[in-house]
Chain A
Amino acid sequence: MNRVRRTLAPYLLVLPGWLWLLLFFVVPMATMFSLSLQQGDIVNGYRFTGHWQNYLDAVADYRTQLLRSLVYGLVTTVALVVLSFPVAYWIAFYGGRRKPTYLFLILLPFFVSFVLRTISWRQILTDDGMLLHPLKQAGLLPDGFHVLGTSYAVIFGLIYNFLPFMVLPIYVALERIDPRVVEAARDLYATPLTAFRKVVLPLALPGVFAGVLMTFVPASSDYVNSSVLGSASTTMIGQVIQVQALSNSNYPMASALSFTLMAVLLSGVFGYARMLGTQDVMKVAAR
């Protein structure tokens, strides 16, 4: 009796959550995949035709936006690694007793709505806003100078919004490094740079990888930053998908685009995860 209960226990514990994920994650993905191969419209209904043409059309029509999203995502991610590393490094090695306070400060933006933060940047960066207006008045900027509506503004917004997701995992990796390992390298006459390159950096790489996973996917599929800070020439694929799904109710097209994006992003993610093991990444992700 007791043994039966013990072997059943994990299944009973897992069942409700597992069903939820099955019904509302796995099934919708399958529905979406099936829709991506259908033809028709919202009024007359959809028929399953095994219509791969949707994918070809999707890629042909929106290649520019798809590529742009990946480029923005990549630029953002690379910039994030460069910008976040020193912050994570300083907190991990010199933060001392104040480490939790610094991490808390890094996380402060999360207490304000993502949409509100992004709109706030629009108000700062707008042509007659508090940043550009005084500079233009002082004659420091040419009249036609804009920030808003450019790809710089969109990438700036992406970097801003995802920075904590890069600092945190790198910090976690650096925090685990025993300072004595670095001291040992120095005792063996490594220069500070060599010690960093040969000891600290390799140990920090899993954190960098985790950070890349946590920022590349949301950054390349984001549509809030490009809608709020960008213009028609900075449209990202997320905006296209959103319009196709919500405004045009063109579900087959939205589904085909979504699957294309998902395939590109997740093949990268799983390639990474294979190299590193998912456990480590999830541990960092859950912090």
Chain B
Amino acid sequence: MSPTRRSRPAGERAMFAYTWLVIAWLVTPILLMIVFGFNDPHGRYNQTWQGFTLKWYAKAFEIGDLTSALVLSLTIAVVSALLSGALGTGIGYALGRYRFRGGDTLNLIMFTTISSPELIMGISLLTLFVTMGVGLGPVTITIAHVMFSISFVATVVRARVVTLDRSIEEAAADLGAGPWTTFWRVTFPIILPAVFSGVLLAFALSIDDFIVTNFTAGTAVTFPLWIWGATRVGLPPQVNVMGTLIFTAGVLIAVVANLRSRSRSRRD
């Protein structure tokens, strides 16, 4: 290892250093968030280091409306991930497998939803709900999150369906399996990892969304909305603690999912 590393050309070494510099830049605010969850600030502002404490972890859920904001965010994320997972998988499977009338229009609409500014999707939903006299709240937030997640799920699933080896399904049919059995016993297990990553993506999009949520929430408060509202008065350290917990959970899920898929591919 070391002789090749020494013989690396200067340009390559510079790019290596630069890549790590960019990564360091990307994680700087994350590290700060984690560190300041252990800070013991005396004033309202938690931005200079004033000593180590674990008390915010003990008091993590003591701010009632912050905790309920987090619970609301998680609930909406789960519901919208499952819903957009189901709807998006249907679209992705159909687009990957069949040619049908309206398919091109659907593709165009999906492309437009992915490339539209979130701000404008938020405003347009707001105008719709206001015009129809629908009260804003958790339901309208969920409707909005499902809407912008469907196309992402569908795109991930379609990519998998397109590369599917049809001969496996034909083999199942030759062995006497009906279309229904073939789908559930053969096709679905193959596309399941794609469905799973689509659902995870939808969950991540939902839990982090601020812009669309801001317009469809009414008086409901999600985790990002609570943080936004609290910025003017200074963020309590509990926000750092919750941010750290969400971060850790997300990273763990990603690492486990990755290790599982790696061990699966090794078995194949």
Contacts and interface: CB of A to CB of B under 8 A. Distances in A.
Contact of A113 (B113, B152, B227): B227
A31 B250 contact: no
Interface in B105-153: 106-121, 123-128, 130-131, 143-144, 146-147, 150-152
Given A28-B128, A90-B15, A265 B150 contact: no
Contacts of A79: none
Given A114-B210, A124-B28, A258-B120, A25 B113 contact: yes
B258 interface: yes
A242 B147 contact: no
Interface string B159-194: 100000000000000000001000000000000000
Interface stretch (A8-16, A50-58, A147-155, A181-189): A8-16
A111 interface: yes
Interface in A18-62: 18, 20-21, 24-29, 31-32, 35
Contacts of A245: 123, 126, 215
A110 B204 contact: yes
**Most chain B CB neighbours (cut-off 10 Å) among A15, A83, A282:** A282
A244 to B, nearest CB: 9
Nearest to A262: B120
B28 A106 contact: no
A116 B90 contact: no
A278 B111 contact: yes
A104 interface: yes
Contact of B143 (A24, A31, A112, A128): A24
Interface in B7-50: 12, 15-16, 18-19, 22-23, 25-30, 32-33, 47-49
A24 B125 contact: yes
Interface stretch (A138-146, A199-207, A217-225): A217-225
Contacts of A102: 19, 23
B124 A28 contact: yes
A87 interface: yes
B254 interface: yes
B52 interface: no
Contact of A242 (B19, B119, B179): B119
B66 interface: no
B131 A13 contact: no
Interface residues of B, number: 88
Nearest to B231: A119
A120 interface: yes
Contacts of B112: 25, 266
B54 interface: no
B146 to A, nearest CB: 6
Contact of B227 (A116, A238, A281): A116
B158 to A, nearest CB: 9
A128 B126 CA distance: 39
Interface of A: 2, 5, 9-11, 13-18, 20-21, 24-29, 31-32, 35, 83, 86-87, 89-91, 94, 100, 102, 104-106, 108-117, 119-121, 123-124, 126, 128-130, 160, 163-164, 213, 217-218, 220-224, 228, 238, 241-242, 245-246, 251, 254-255, 258, 261-262, 265-266, 269, 273, 278, 281-283, 285-286
What 3 A-B pairs are tightest by C-beta distance, nearest first? A120-B29, A221-B117, A17-B87
13 contacts: A10-B98, A11-B102, A13-B90, A13-B91, A20-B147, A21-B113, A106-B22, A109-B27, A109-B29, A112-B243, A160-B26, A251-B127, A255-B123
